[in-house]
Amino acid sequence: MFTASGKQKFMIKNSLIFNFIKDKHVASVAPTSKKNVLKICKRIDFNKDIVIVEYGPGNGVFTKYLLSKISANSKLIVIERNKGLALELLKNKDQRLKVFNDSAQNINQILEKENIEKVDYVISGIPLSFLNYQEREELVKNTYRALKNKGIFIVYQFTKKSKKLIVKYFNNIYSHIRPLNMPPLFVFEAVKISENEY
């Protein structure tokens, strides 16, 4: 019979699959592959000092990549609603990283706490189709408010259901698909090109 050692039990408890079984909002048993992380982040200009917000970091596959790329004066704010996953991310003591165990819908209050007016990029891996329509709309609208003019909302999803809602707020949207991901990943890059606020 297989009995897990202390270290193995710790690794299992912090894996996406363990949290997936306990929390339907985790929505994925495996982290996004490194190759897809690179492709999904290709629009980000790492040569400038920037502020990025990440929704649903899970076990931090994007977080680690973004921290390896951003400048010393840039900031990364991650918002993860699953407590176990957020606690794990809090172990990263990088001064540029701020971890919030909260819902992405609360982005505006979180930025206010951090004294940040607007951000350059929001990257989202949360399963939008798991939210009801009102929550989804609140999330997209609040993200629009949080972005600077020309800021980009990057969304990766297993379905393209939420595209219509993103188009309602962001008039400039480019979409592509990562067909080799299982299941295929839809990626939307929505640019805020208007000063109109909702």
- Name which position in 31, 74, 114, 160 contacts ligand SAM (CB under 6 A): 31
Query: Residue 162 and residue 159: Cα distance in Å, rounded?
Result: 8
> Pattern 72-101, binding to ligand SAM, x per CB under 6 A?
-------xxxx--x----------------
Q: Can residue 14 be called a binding residue for ligand SAM (CB under 6 A)? A: no
Which position's Cβ is nearest ligand SAM? 56
Residue 179, C-beta contacts closer than 8 angstroms, at least 6 positions apart: none
Question: Which of 20-28, 68-76, 140-148, 170-178 is the region at the interface with ligand SAM (rule: CB under 6 A)?
Answer: 20-28
Query: Among the residues of 14-71, which ranges form H helices?
Result: 16-22, 34-40, 61-69
Q: Can residue 62 be called a binding residue for ligand SAM (CB under 6 A)? A: yes
Shortest Å, Cβ 191 to ligand SAM: 21
Question: Which of 42-50, 119-127, 169-177, 186-194 is the region at the interface with ligand SAM (rule: CB under 6 A)?
Answer: 119-127
Closest-CA residue to 102 (of 124, 135, 80, 130): 80
100/169 with CB nearer ligand SAM: 100
Q: Can residue 15 be called a binding residue for ligand SAM (CB under 6 A)? A: no
Q: Can residue 151 be called a binding residue for ligand SAM (CB under 6 A)? A: no
Question: Exposure of 162 by Cβ count < 10 A (0-12 exposed, 13-18 middle, 19+ buried)?
Answer: buried
Beta-sheet pairing, 51-55 with 75-79: parallel
Q: What is 129-159 written as a DSSP string?
A: GGS-HHHHHHHHHHHHHHEEEEEEEEEEES-
Closest-CA residue to 82 (of 50, 120, 130, 116): 130
Residues interacting with ligand SAM, by CB under 6 A? 25-28, 31-32, 55-58, 61-62, 79-82, 85, 103-104, 125-127
